[in-house]
């Protein structure tokens, strides 16, 4: 088990023969302690389930989860599955002794500002594919694959844990197959799991596809505030394109995720080995030095933070912007936008100067910090360009993918829409002042003493 924030209770001195060092985790059904095995003088994780103080039904359910996790765990021997060493059942408690993983759970890396480098993500999921393939060949379907149940050790190796909800396809005499209706974490559940259909290894591969999507984009493929809406989307909506959401990803990732998350079981990966094989092909499209790219992203984040355009953006929104944008360089005289073409991408000038024209006549020039192409993005019905933009100097340009922004968080969409609208209105006001300087003198009106409140005009008494 990975080290977690300690909870407040004073731990016991020993659990069986194991010397307790400290508490490292606490959930709804169990407490996990770091302990020392006196026989091997190694650190282990001891997961303790209390069977006292609960009603009879809850105690039976906890005992059933314990028996499943321990029975399945003792049977599985794989480098990417947490090893179970021993199970002990006592009158008022039960505990499982497992290998201790010094690291973090994968849910620490799903935030848009904490995403792992791309090659590490692919490597982690590749190894999880093989681990799940092995587990299924041993007659085990996990049924609760999610980031919190995948631990990452100091050498970037994943370790799948928590088989308490597993489906054991090799029941022994006098035991059932531990089939429990409706188990799992909703956002990661496959369509067949939601429908309570019979399950096989394909449900775990679907969940792994969801995790891959989340690790690459910083968001879940299907989101909703209400559980019923989430379920509807999982059952009925197509999986979004990860490459549309993050243009920096290799194109080969899209078909892999689409196949892993197929709603049709016959079209989904048949086993983890096939999933892993396709991922291995994508690995060759990924630069090995994307750790360097992450350092550059950190530098770019700091640069964006200093730009006036992003002054009202939260840090998390700036990080999300980095995932949907492309940094581009253009030589002098490059055409950036051409009048009459279609396009919803827009951008922010980082360095350089751009001339904007219409019908061969100069409208204005833009320099660092200004936005280009925003009108076609904001227009609700037309993506037609009505101006031409040409780089007047070598240009450094942050291009925002319009399609990716439409798939991003609602908070980021609102922030961009509001910021762009304010800038369009400011530009319109500047145009009005410029036109006024070359216009004819205005008519001089006369002030009246009437006042207007809302739509009511108040006349003098």
Which residues does the annotation mark as catalytic? 144
DSSP single-letter state for residue 325: E
Residue 271 region by backbone torsions, left for phi larger than 0, else alpha for psi between -120 and 50, else beta: beta
State how far the alpha carbon of 432 is from the alpha carbons of 339, 354, 387, 389, 426, in Å: 23, 21, 18, 21, 10
Q: Which two tokens stand for residue 341?
A: 């073409």
CA dihedral 432, 436, 442, 447 (to 10 degrees): 50
Question: What are the φ and ψ backbone dihedral angles of 96, each rounded to 5 degrees?
Answer: -120, 135
Rounded CA gap, 151 and 160, in Å? 6
**Cα maximum dimension of the chain:** 100
d(CA 380, CA 401): 16
Q: Taking the chain, what is the end-to-end CA distance rounded to the nearest angstrom? A: 82
150-153: strand order across its sheet: 103-105, 150-153, 158-160
Residues 322, 304 contacting (CB under 8 angstroms): yes
Q: What count of other Cβ atoms lies within 10 Å of the Cβ of residue 9?
A: 9
């Amino acid at each position: 088990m990975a080290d977690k924030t300690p909870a407040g209770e004073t731990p016991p001195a020993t659990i069986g023969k194991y010397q307790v060092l400290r508490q490292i985790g606490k959930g709804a059904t169990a407490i996990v302690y770091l302990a020392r095995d006196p026989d091997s003088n190694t650190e282990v994780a001891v997961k303790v389930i209390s069977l006292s103080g609960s009603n009879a039904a809850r105690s039976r359910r906890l005992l059933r989860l314990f028996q499943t996790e321990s029975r399945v765990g003792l049977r599985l021997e794989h480098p990417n599955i947490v090893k179970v060493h021993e199970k002990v059942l006592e009158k008022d408690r039960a505990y499982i002794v497992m290998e201790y993983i010094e690291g973090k759970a994968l849910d620490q890396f799903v935030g848009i500002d904490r995403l792992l480098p791309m090659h590490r993500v692919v490597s982690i999921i590749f190894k999880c594919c093989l681990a799940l393939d092995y587990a299924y060949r041993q007659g085990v379907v996990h049924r609760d694959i999610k980031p919190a149940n995948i631990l990452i050790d100091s050498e970037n190796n994943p370790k799948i844990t928590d088989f308490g909800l597993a489906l054991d396809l090799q029941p022994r005499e006098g035991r059932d197959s531990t089939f429990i209706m409706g188990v799992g974490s909703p956002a990661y559940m496959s369509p067949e799991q939601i429908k309570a259909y019979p399950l096989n290894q394909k449900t775990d591969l679907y969940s792994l596809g969801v995790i891959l999507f989340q690790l690459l984009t910083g968001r879940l493929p299907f989101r909703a505030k209400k559980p019923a809406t989430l379920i509807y989307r999982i059952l009925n909506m197509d999986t979004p394109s990860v490459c549309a959401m993050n243009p920096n990803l290799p194109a080969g990732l899209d078909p892999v995720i689409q196949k892993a998350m197929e709603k049709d079981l016959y079209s989904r990966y048949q086993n983890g080995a096939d999933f892993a094989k396709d991922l291995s092909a994508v690995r060759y499209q990924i630069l090995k030095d994307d750790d360097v790219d992450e350092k550059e992203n950190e530098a770019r984040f700091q640069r964006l933070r200093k730009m006036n355009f992003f002054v009202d953006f939260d840090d998390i929104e700036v990080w999300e912007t980095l995932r949907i944008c492309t940094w581009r360089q253009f030589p002098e005289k490059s055409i950036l936008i051409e009048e009459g073409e279609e396009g919803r991408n827009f951008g922010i000038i980082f360095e350089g100067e751009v001339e904007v024209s219409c019908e061969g006549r100069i409208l204005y020039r833009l320099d660092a910090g200004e936005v280009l192409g925003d009108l076609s993005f904001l227009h609700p019905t037309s993506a037609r360009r009505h101006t031409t933009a040409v780089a007047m100097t070598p240009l450094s340009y942050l291009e925002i993918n319009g399609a990716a922004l439409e798939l991003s968080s609602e908070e980021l969409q609102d922030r961009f829409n509001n910021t762009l609208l304010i800038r369009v209105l400011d530009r319109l006001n500047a145009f009005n002042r410029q036109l006024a300087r070359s216009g004819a003198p205005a008519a001089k009106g006369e002030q009246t003493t009437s006042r207007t409140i809302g739509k009511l005009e108040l006349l003098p008494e």
